[in-house]
Every structure is written in structure tokens, then in C-alpha cells.
Amino acid sequence: MTDILMPALSPTMEEGTLAKWLVKKGDTVSAGDVIAEIETDKATMEVEAVDEGVVEEILVEAGTEGVKVNAPIARLSGGVEAKAPEPKPAKEAAPEAAPAKAERPAKAEPAPAKASPAKTPGGERIFASPLARRIAEQKGLDLAAIEGSGPHGRIIERDVKDAKPGAKPATTTATTPSERRGETRPVQSLQQMGIPEGSYELIPLDGMRKTVARRMTDSFRDVPHFPLTIDLEIDRLLESRGRINKMLEKDGVKVSVNDIILKACAVALMRVPEANASYSPEGIALHHHADIAMAVAVEGGLITPIVRKCETKGLAQIAQETKDLAERARTRKLKPEEFQGGTFSVSNLGMFGIKSFGSIINEPQGAILSVGAGTKQPVVRGDQLAIATVMSVTMTCDHRVVDGATGARWLEAFKALIEEPLAMIV
């Protein structure tokens, strides 16, 4: 017998929804056959069978929510190894992240009846392949003491094969994540905070909301950030956009103000490369290209599709890409590489009339630009008053990477490009 396990579709995934079974009890499956669909916070995934065999039992019914990673979901006869099958994108959606692939053993081994994720004393889940877990159990190894060399630090076969039994974690003092972060205030219910039960409607958190909440909380708490705000005059930009769109009208392409902002961000990052950076424990990463992520509101949260190598692309190409990315983001049809990573983000709420705001940094990026609405305002030119269309932007910087002087130099370069768009092609 071989247990089919709930796969981990990303390093942070702990549970998911088994949306649909595409096989039933008694069906014969081969390696590579799509057997089920799993919903994550960002996408729907197709799950392939890794081994061939006959479906002996469906352990988790279709539509079941909160299925823990590595929990058995079905059982095959005639299989070789109980491990999480490798997923692939569904036709109607895209995966949240590519899973780490477990190694196949040299010979058949009996599968354990149950598989549950190992955890550290503090309650954090340890990411390891099913084969690595089984070898560790057989050798009496403590997975918490082993450093993984697989994708995202996942523990794989080679990490445990030569490890010695009896190894202990570096520290034996168990602390919770909250204690390590210095949090002291317990989470209180609304009733404990004075809001009576029955006076509100509670909307349960879906996967995307939970992920956004966790990532933004982590970033706001852990990243030492600060804002830099400047005003830009965008009358020349608006005039240039009108001329550009007249030229592109025959091709059916329409360039938006946001497209021009993305291009200006990319060019400015090339002129001030110190701002195109990410912090890591190993050092500061200076990126070769400006991969600009743009915030797109979707049902239940937001997602940030990326225009790769934005500095190398013309406005027509950027306009076509952003339109396509935004449309597929709203229907959750993006591929993982289209929304993961990026070196810099842009969040534009100007179309909603927001004049000025500050965004939370999208780790591991070193900065994010918040774009407000352009409004007619009085400005002073020399000793004369004039009317100009003014737009406020705020750059939120990770102080570990982008200090005040670097952020100011980047904004200076960005301002010059926005106020004279022709400078982008010089």
C-alpha cells in the first residue's frame, strides 16, 4: 500500500483545501496522471500521481478544508513510496509555488501508516521530504538539528543519509515564535475587547487573507522601515502620454500613467543601483535588473505580478504586459514566476483619489513606491504663481539596505524622469 499525502505547495503552506477528486475507488492510475485538485490561497493546483497502482481508498472527501500538509489523502495498492505527489498548474489557475521534489528510494519500502509534519520545540514546522523523514526516523535523527540543502532549506535525502544519530538542536530552550519576536500581549477576542457577541457579522479568513496578514505583519514588525515623500509635476508626463497613445492607436495599445511610472522606476533603479537591492543574512544583494512588481487588488486580497527586466522594455511592451498580468491576476491564472520575487514594488491608489499614503515593504525587496492622485495645485515658479498637476509619491525604504541618502538620490532620479519623460530614452 502507498499513502498519497497532502503536498506542500510552498515553504509556508501548512494546510489547504482538497477541492476535487479526479479519480475514484478502484481506478487504475499511472505516474503522471492528474488525480486531484487542491486549492491554496492564490491558486488551484492539479496533483499528479507519482506511482502507479489502484486507488484502494479515498481518505479525504472532496471539498474538505484545512487538510494538513503531509496528511494521507488517499491510498494506492502497488505503489513504491508514500510521498507527496508533485503538483502542476491547473488549466484554470496557477500554482502558488513550485514544491520541492522528494527523492525516489533505490528500492521499495513500506510506507508509514501516517505522516505528520515534524516540529521544533517552539512549534514551528520542519520542512523535509517524506523520504528524508523516514530515514531520519529509522536512524533516530532529530530533524531540528539538521540543516536542509534542498529548495527553501528543505531537508532532503542527502542531508540525513550521512548524519549521525543522537544529534541535538543547538539550543534546548523551547521558545515560541511570539517570545522570540518579543511579543508579550496575548491575542484577545472581540468580546474581551468590549465588542459584544452578535453585534457584527464574522467573515472567515480565506487562505489569501491569512497569507497577506502574516506577510504584512512580519514585514511591518521585522523590517526597519521609513518613508520619503516628494511632490512631482506631471503635466509633461500627461502631455507625452497623449502623444504616445495617439501614435499607438493603430496598434490597439494604450499606455497608462502607471506604465510610465513603472518604466521611470526601472530606469531610476539602473541610475541608482544601490536602491535596487535586497537584505539577506549573507549580505546585500544588488540586482542586475529592475524586476518591478505592481500591486493588483483581487477578490480576497492582493497580488503583485512582476514586469521582468523592466528597464529593457519600451512603454508599448510594458503596457501590453501590465494589462495581461492584471487580467490574469484577477482570475488567478498567473504562473509562480510571474508573481514571486521582484526587486522593487509600486502601489498606485491615485485612481481612487488617494493623495498620499505609505505602503508596507514587500520582502525581500528593499523599497516600495506609493503613488497618489495627480491634482491641480498652485505652484511657485521663480516669483510667479502657476497652476500645475501635482502628484505625491512616498518611497518606503528598508533601512538595512536603502538608507536616507540613497533613497533621496533615487527619488531625485525618479523625479527628473517623471517631470521630463524624454529623459527615459536618453
Distances (CA, A) of 194 to 187, 188, 189, 233: 14, 10, 9, 47
DSSP code of 111?
Answer: P
| Band (150; pLDDT cuts 50, 70, 90) | low
256-305 pLDDT, tens per residue?
999 999 999 999 999 999 999 999 999 999 999 999 999 999 887 889 99
Mean pLDDT across the stretch 60-86?
Answer: 74
Residue bearing the bigger pLDDT, 160 or 384: 384
pLDDT number for residue 145: 81
DSSP code of 313?
Answer: S
Taking a C-beta distance cutoff of 8 angstroms, is the pair 268, 290 a contact? no
pLDDT value at 185 more than 60: no
312-352 pLDDT, tens per residue?
999 999 999 999 999 999 988 888 889 888 999 999 999 99
pLDDT number for residue 118: 52
pLDDT value at 236 more than 80: yes
- The lowest-confidence range among 46-60, 139-153, 256-270, 387-401 is 139-153
Question: Looking at 152, 287, 289, 399, which residue is catalytic?
Answer: 399
Residue with cell 520541492: 100
pLDDT number for residue 206: 75
- Backbone φ and ψ for 144, nearest 5 degrees, come out as -65, -20
pLDDT number for residue 227: 97
For 297, the grid coordinates are 487588488
Domains and their CATH numbers in the chain: 2-117 (2.40.50.100), 209-425 (3.30.559.10)
DSSP code of 55?
Answer: E
Buried b / exposed e over 342-376, threshold 16 CB at 10 Å, is bbbbbbbbbeeeeebbebbbbebbbbbbbbbbbee
pLDDT number for residue 11: 58
Residue with cell 487580467: 327
What percent of the chain stands above pLDDT 70?
Answer: 80
pLDDT number for residue 376: 96
What percent of the chain stands above pLDDT 90?
Answer: 47
- Does residue 399 have an active-site annotation? yes
Residue with cell 540543502: 149
Taking a C-beta distance cutoff of 8 angstroms, is the pair 37, 87 a contact? no
Residue 368 amino acid letter: I
pLDDT number for residue 335: 85
15-47 pLDDT, tens per residue?
888 888 999 999 998 887 889 988 776 666 778
Mean pLDDT across the stretch 108-134?
Answer: 55
pLDDT number for residue 289: 97
Q: Which distant-in-sequence residues (6+ apart) come within 8 Å of 86 by Cβ?
A: 7, 48, 50, 99, 101
pTM recorded for the entire structure: 0.62
| Band (166; pLDDT cuts 50, 70, 90) | low
Q: Which distant-in-sequence residues (6+ apart) come within 8 Å of 366 by Cβ?
A: 275, 276, 277, 278, 279, 343, 344, 397, 398, 401, 402
